[in-house]
Chains A and B, each alone.
Chain A
Amino acid sequence: MRFLDKASGPFSRIGERGYFAADIVRALPDWRTYGVETVRQMRNIGVDSVPLTIIVAAFIGAVTAFQTRYQLFGGVQLSVVGLISRQSVILELGPLLTALVLTGRVGARITAELGTMRVTEQIDALETLAYDPIAYLVVPRVIAAIIMLPILTVFADAVGVGMAFLTSIVATDILPSDFMAGLQLAFAPFQIVYSLIKATVFGAAISFFCSYEGYNANAGAEGVGRSTATAVVITSVAILVLDAVTALLLAPYLQA
């Protein structure tokens, strides 16, 4: 019997998250409850994360261009640096590292906020007042993350590519025209869409997993800390898995 309990554990956890997702979907029509709060969460998740996103993207772009330049062997045209920098930043590093960084900054915050509300019985109080806590607390965070992650990723892509350009022409022997030629080579607008799709999926994952862990926190302050750590780990792993899945599904359409 105990074996069956243990064996069914993972499925049980998946099922609980499924119910949680169903509750979120069910709360979506109640926009009057989460409308105003959504804007506030967009500010917290999106606007306040712009500086951190830009800093991370700038270093990503600079390092990508610099390392790419010095990996090239003789005879390779230098415009390849622009091409590789663009593809690396837009297709992979921009959305992925932005999501991972925001997992620590935004996801941990969501879990801690909701967990604290749970252990201090504020969520129970909302239920007592006939508020749907999912609509009021979780849906605004999920919507805000789904909207703002792509916006932040656009900033990350632009800053990353721009910093790659600056690094190339300032710190290496690449001419601006060479970098630009590679930057524009074989570009397809779907590459931007691909990046935004990834960011949307990552935003949903961050808000969903972190909200779930915070919403179901228990055992006081210690439980909140444990839930926060668990949320960050699960979300990080989920982002990497989703990154691979989206690449498998969408990469064939990237051909220019």
Chain B
Amino acid sequence: MKKTRDDILVGVVIVVGLVIAIVGSLWLARGGLSKGYPLYARFAWGAGLKTGAPVWVSGAAVGYVSDVQFRPDGTLLTQLRITSDQPIPKSSPATVVPNGIFGDVAVNFTPKHSTARYIDGDTVVSGAAVAGLAQLTAKADSITTSVASLTSAMNKELVAGGGLADLGATLAGTNKLIAQLSAIAATQSTQLTETMTSLRHATSAVDSAKIDSTLSNLRTASGNMSSLTTSLDSTGRALSQIVAKVDSGSGSAAKLINDPALYNDMHSLLGRMDSLVADIKKNPKRYINVKVF
């Protein structure tokens, strides 16, 4: 009876252990006990995919990568096992995206509006690869290489080529120049201080009362100039009126200027005056008779 009990106990433990091992392995490998359905995708070499990598639809887990096969045409034929009931719209591209900072990747579907959905055995559209940690690391590597070459060149120029020594000498010369400029500035500062002191003395020597009277005189002169300007203005206006009268021809002056008959009279008068003077010169005794006594 005891042996029978031992048999049963041992058998139960072994069976339970085997079931745990098999079911656990299947569960871990498949991402669940649901069998799901396979989809196929092709990605470029170096995508970093490995079995068990998660498959997402917009970040939500729907399955896992169940197989990755190397193809000599530069691609990896990848089997995606979809274990979720979540429908994946047809023509939704699958992209290899980074998953964390350790270089792990996942396959992510970006859903497109479509009534059709991927079914068992479909080959999905492969989207453009997203730059992952590997690419960033490669970029960082190239930057590091550039920095290293730059450092090497600087080392060559500055250390091996004596540039650093020249730089030191330049700095020493600059320091000397700055010291000289400082000395000049100190001297100039002293002179400037003296100039300012003299100016302050000169300013204090000016008699403010005289300045006030001068300013008062200037103010009076300015007033006089103003009244003078007013007088000139009125004079100008009076002259303008006279000129207007002359132009209009009324009055003696206007007639003197504007009447041609008067001009002719004056002209003939002057002619006769000339004749008279000539006659006087010719016959002075006719006109001038001086008697003394």
Interface residues of A (CB under 8 A from B): 36, 39-40, 42-43, 46-47, 50, 75-77, 79-80, 86, 147-148, 150-152, 154-155, 157-158, 177, 181, 183-189, 192, 196, 256
Contacts and interface: CB of A to CB of B under 8 A. Distances in A.
24 contacts: A36-B3, A39-B10, A40-B3, A42-B10, A50-B13, A75-B101, A76-B101, A76-B102, A77-B101, A148-B14, A151-B18, A154-B18, A154-B24, A155-B20, A157-B24, A181-B61, A184-B54, A184-B64, A185-B104, A188-B51, A189-B25, A192-B24, A196-B21, A256-B52
Contacts of A152: 17
B50 interface: yes
Interface string B9-27: 1100110011011001100
A147 B14 contact: yes
A47 B16 CA distance: 11
B29 A189 contact: yes
Nearest to B68: A256
Given A43-B10, A151-B14, A256-B51, A79 B100 contact: yes
Nearest to A183: B28
Given A76-B100, A186-B52, A47 B64 contact: no
Given A154-B17, A189-B29, A39 B61 contact: no
A161 to B, nearest CB: 8
A47 B52 contact: no
Given A147-B14, A186-B50, 19 more contacts: A40-B6, A42-B6, A43-B6, A46-B10, A75-B101, A79-B100, A80-B102, A151-B17, A158-B20, A158-B24, A181-B54, A181-B61, A183-B28, A184-B54, A185-B52, A186-B51, A186-B104, A188-B51, A192-B25
B212 interface: no
A154 B64 CA distance: 24
- B7, B9, B14, B21: most-surrounded residue (chain A CB, <10 A): B21
Contacts of A79: 100
Contacts of A50: 13
B28 A43 contact: no
Contact of B21 (A36, A47, A154, A181): A154
A77 B99 contact: yes
B132 interface: no
Contacts of B38: none
A185 B61 contact: no
A33 B29 CA distance: 42
Given A76-B100, A185-B104, A188-B52, A39 B21 contact: no
B88 interface: no
A154 B21 CA distance: 6
A36 B7 CA distance: 9
A155 B10 contact: no
B13 A177 contact: no
B1 to A, nearest CB: 13
Given A43-B10, A80-B102, A184 B28 contact: yes
